[in-house]
Structure 1
Amino acid sequence: MRHFSCAFFTTCFLFIASISSGQQVMNYSFGEGLKFVAEDNSFAVKCNFRFQTLYQGRYFETGDWTESLMIRRSRLKFGGHAFRPNIKYKLELGLSNRDVGSGNIPESGPTANIVLDAVVKWQFAENWQLWVGQTKLPGNRERVFSSQELQFVDRSRVNSRYTLDRDIGIQLHGKHKIGRCAVIEEKLAISTGEGRNIIVNNPYNGRQYTARFEWLPFGSFANDGDYFGADLEREDNVKLSLGITADYNHNTVRSRGNLGSFVREGEEYVASNLNTLFIDALLKYRGFSASGEYAHRSTFDSKNPEFGYGQGIALAAGYLLPSDWELSGRFTEISPANVSSINQASEYLIGISKYVSGHSLKIQSDFSYTTRKLDRDFFMMRVQVEVAL
């Protein structure tokens, strides 16, 4: 792994140095990365690097105190167009220990999990794009938010328990204006159903099918503000987005579909058909933002307690002051089904953020209290610094 990282960064350095000597630097300002474009516009490259430094402390009801200091995320991203401007690509790599993780494949043992996104996006018509490769599925809104652009230190427990996450396959994205200002967005996906970087065949030949629809009755948000936290654009008019996602993961052998452990009984895999529903909403107006997400996961054919069934809800709101300080709050509740291994929990959280340069340079903190049915309740304090170049 260490030799790979050294070789990779050396290659990146030589690549950027070589194209900068023969191509034109289009833009270089904080938070927007390095951009290069060929003289004939046959390709373009944009390179970004970001990391998060996180402190976390927990105080349990038994009097125990635990704490940690870590690089929560460290990412290297490339994007641009290839051959023609309507053919775009994105490559994102995870470099921290938490990013890399493990493939957790029984036959192969722990494996590096470096590639987050590797996807090509072809805009074949004015309102339609075809995506091919590995990237986030069009699931709950909170998950599709970049981890760089969250309103809180991290996503809610609803996301961590029920999200669809990344997978490899094809996606179709459409966006259409209805009437004077309303917008409808359609997103469809067919993928392997086992998550990112999995190279072992599913013995049950499973597939995953995802459909998401969004309605923006008052028109589009400024600068795609419906997909980042806080109202940094300070919308002059009320903007609202309502979304619904339905997902069917057929014959998955992982406990949470795209995530979780591989479920086995003896030497045999255990497959299940997971049905997931998300309903979410986001409102922004003059620095105020409010959001809500509901998730429900069920199955009709498996009683194995390792599969995560149940439902959850997350409600959040915040106000961005003229000084770019934000005070926010979030309530989360997880209600698993009786057969699920997921623990019932409720979280009450208050967040304080300072946006020095939008989501590219910010300091975020939150204070929360979590109650759990089958485990100890605890208070938690987190402070995180985000730097994105």
Structure 2
Amino acid sequence: MRSRFRCLTEPGFWVTVAFIVTAVAGGLSLPPAIAAESGRLVEKDGKLVFVESTDPAIKLLLERALKQGLITKEEYEKVEKESEERAYALTPTFKGWYDRGFNLSMNDNAFYLKIRFRAQLRYTQRFRNDAWRDPGDAKNFPELLGVFGDYRANRSDETGSSFNVRRARLYFMGHLFNPDFKYYVQLAGETAENSQSPGSVRVLDLNFSSTHFPLFNIQFGQYKVYFNRAQINSTASMQFAERALVMDAFTASGLDRRDIGITIMNDEEIYPVNYYVGIFNGAGPSFNRIGGFFSEQPTENCGGGTTGQNPFPSPASCPAPQRNINANLRNDINQLMYVARLNWNIMGRPGYGEGDLAYSETPQIAVGGGFSYNPAVNASSNSSFVGTDLANLNFRRQIAAFGNARQLGWGIVDYATWALDGVFKYRGFSLQGEYYFKNVTRHEKGLPCMNTTCTQTAPGLLGNATGWYVQTGYYVIPRYLEIAGRYAYWDPDTNSADDLIKQVDLSLNWFLNGTYDHQIMVTYSNIAMGTGGYAIGRSAPLPPQSGTIPLDASGGTLIENMIRVQYQIFF
């Protein structure tokens, strides 16, 4: 009896009664005040959809029962409330799905995470001329050896074959609190083709962005510096397996594409003219100025040796022979890098990805320019004799890796770099190009000593650097098959002759699903690198203290032909 009586008091009982009665009596519509909707907005497939908390069929029966007097208003509201609470309790607090990445979002949209992975697997076949055997390259891309980062000529046999995990990237991106506060993390575990050490997992990007105010967006952390088109573009959306050498040489810092700092910009999707103003450490990714050091002489104007002997005749005022390989001074740590860029989308929005994969139905045209000033880059120490200098390895390795090794050995230098770029895209055809100029200012105005008595110096000061490239492509089969070509020119030292670097690239690109996410690329490259000019202290081994630090002799033009076959998958 108790169970039967309890059943009569349950709201579900009245729902059943209401269903039976209304099924017989027929439906009557309720006044708008009674039929007011209760529920909430949820995000579905990128759209906000209103979902009622109570099942629509049950709600209709309740409303009819209320209208016919089978239940009271208090009973109706009680059932409605309990139904909402039950629906809310059964609804998951998050949702997950796959759409070009693994996505996780909270129902209130206060948190969103997308996880993606990208890999580029590559086979490379190289053919080099005899000049690569003798003298090799000791001026632009030397090998760095030893604790002090001694540089040696990069020499190799005529042919070479290799498989390479060129890029392996893991991405975490999304927003926190609301869609206008974004985060972006990119991890890399890869090995460059010319790497001198095994690859390891490292943080490429870690930054946050505020887009609350479209005219003043803010990005801070570690990321690619907004300087020039080639620097901003991702390797996931290139027309060739690698950037041209000249693109790497003219980064904002002169060291790397990435740095740690803050940038203020406007919304690229709203305004046709976009500005970027940033301040950075100017020391490359995962590093700052405080980590750099300066190897000073213990006594000003008095020489010091690497093994305790004094290589210079000491004046009477100088103390006994001293060592000068001491990282006992951290200078210029108050220096920062300043960068500005302006981009004008004249027609459409071509973006920074290379090629016209979207097969634009209307012309897409943009022009832009950038300027960066990076002072006090420690290319070596201020040791009087270039054979005994000690430089911070982080700076030295970055300078050499990006092809600017002619600047090593010149002490503390300032970089002022300009860039101009333009792009045109229309119906599968693309054309883009950039021009670069770098002014290199040396703090120590005198010529470096080339022997222990300083009776011989370098033949001239290091000059500036210029370069440019132009590239084009066309989709033979829209969105699936592209052919592309590129020509690049680079003068690493305007004060030297016979040192030009010229590069020609041809590429055939097959996009398996019509996107950059799944593609096969075959790129042919021809590089001619002049060995003229000079580079300070590049020889192996260094001569005795009584000798002369030789200049690298010119050995003709280094010619390299290579074919890269690359598979990229991005999911």
TM-score normalized with structure 2 length:
0.57
Deviates more, 1:285-294 or 1:199-208: 199-208
1:234 aligns with 2:386: no
Residue 73 (1) aligns with residue 167 (2): yes
1:241 deviates by 0.9
**Structure 1 residues 259-270: aligned runs within 5 Å:** 259-260=398-399, 270=411
Shift of 1:61: 2.7
The equivalent residue for 2:561 is 379
Pick the aligned partner of 1:318 from 429, 448, 473.
473
Cα offsets for 1:339-388 (capped at 9, x unmatched): 68995211111111001131100011111222121142121111111011
Alignment of 1:243 with 2:368, yes or no, is yes
| Deviations 1:93-138, CA, capped at 9 Å, x for gaps | 0112339x79x9xxxxx99670100000011313331011000001
Hey, which bits of structure 1, 4+ residues long, moved more than 6 A?
110-113, 255-258, 262-265, 303-308
1:24 correspondence with 2:92: no
Q: What is the alpha-carbon distance in structure 2 between the residues aligned to residue 61 and residue 274 of structure 1?
A: 34
Question: Letter of the aligned partner of 1:172 in structure 2?
Answer: I
Aligned to 1:171: 263
Matched, 1:44 2:133: no
| Cα separation, 1, equivalents of 2:168 and 2:288 | 24
**Contact 1:167/1:258 (<8 A) preserved:** no
8 Å CA contact 1:355–1:362 kept in 2: the answer is: yes
Q: Which residue of 2 aligns with 1:16?
A: none
What displacement does 1:22 show? 5.6
- State the shift of 1:260 in Å: 1.9
Structure 1 residues 96-245: aligned runs within 5 Å: 96-98=190-192, 114-164=202-252, 165-175=257-267, 183-199=272-288, 201=290, 202=292, 203-205=331-333, 206-221=335-350, 226-245=351-370
Pairwise CA distance, 1:293: 0.9
Cα distance in 1 for partners of 2:370, 2:396 equals 15
Report which stretch shifted further, 300-309 or 148-157: 300-309
Q: What SS does the aligned partner of 1:125 have?
A: coil
User: Offset at 1:296?
Assistant: 0.9
Change (3 A) 1:196 1:228: same
| RMSD after superposition | 3.1
CA contact (8 A) 1:310 1:340 kept: no
Q: Which amino acid aligns with 1:273?
A: D
Q: Does 1:359 align with 2:516?
A: yes
Cα 1:290–1:257 shift into 2, 3 Å: farther
Residues 170 and 247 of structure 1, relative CA distance in 2, 3 Å threshold? same
Aligned AA (2:262): I
Larger Rg: 2
Measured at CA, do residues 41 and 257 of structure 1 come closer, stay the same or move farther in structure 2, by a change above 3 Å?
Answer: farther
Deviation of 1:301 (Å): 3.0
Distance of 1:39 and 1:342 partners within structure 2:
64
- Residue 211 of structure 1 and its aligned partner are, at CA, apart by 0.3
Could you report, residue by residue, the CA deviation over 1:9-37 in whole angstroms, capped at 9, with x for unpaired residues? xxxxxxxxxxxx86201x414xx111111
Structure 2 counterpart of 1:160, which letter?
D
Report the Cα distance in structure 2 between the residues aligned to 1:36 and 1:24, rounded to whole angstroms: 6
Q: Tell me how far apart the structure 1 counterparts of residues 228 and 276 of structure 2 sit (CA, whole Å).
A: 12
Contact 2:273 2:343 (8 Å CA) reproduced: yes
Q: 1:254 to 1:87 in 2, by over 3 A?
A: farther
Shift of 1:231: 0.4
- Distance in 1, matches of 2:231 and 2:371, equals 15
- The 2-side partners of 1:307 and 1:88 are apart by 44
Q: SS where residue 217 of structure 1 aligns? A: strand
- Output aligned runs, 1:81-92, within 5 Å: 81-92=175-186
1:315-346 deviation per Cα after TM superposition (whole angstroms, max 9, x unaligned):
00000123511111000111122468995211
- The answer to whether the aligner puts 1:348 opposite 2:504 as a matched pair is yes
Aligned partners of 2:397 and 2:209: how far apart in 1? 22
- % same residue: 25
Q: CA deviation at 1:254?
A: 5.1
Q: Separation in 2 of the partners of 1:45 and 1:133? A: 18
Whether contact under 8 Å (1:297, 1:308) holds in the other structure is: no
The CA distance in 1 between the partners of 2:379 and 2:221, in whole Å, is 20
Q: For structure 2, which runs of at least 5 residues remain unmatched after alignment?
A: 1-91, 131-156, 293-330, 381-394, 449-457, 532-556
1:230·1:288 contact (CA, 8 Å) conserved in 2? yes
- 211-220 vs 60-69, which moves further: 60-69
Who is 2:154 aligned against?
A: none
Counterpart Cα distance in 2 of 1:333 and 1:208? 26
Q: Is the 8 A contact 2:289 2:332 kept in 1?
A: no
Contact 2:189 2:199 in 1 (8 A): no
Question: Which stretch of structure 1 is more off in the superposition, 228-237 or 199-208?
Answer: 199-208
Segment of structure 1 superposing worse, 81-90 or 191-200: 191-200
Gaps of 5+ in 1: 1-20, 105-109
Deviation at 1:264, TM superposition (A): 7.8
**Bigger share in strand:** 1
Number of residue equivalences: 349
Q: What secondary structure sits across from 2:477 in the alignment?
A: coil
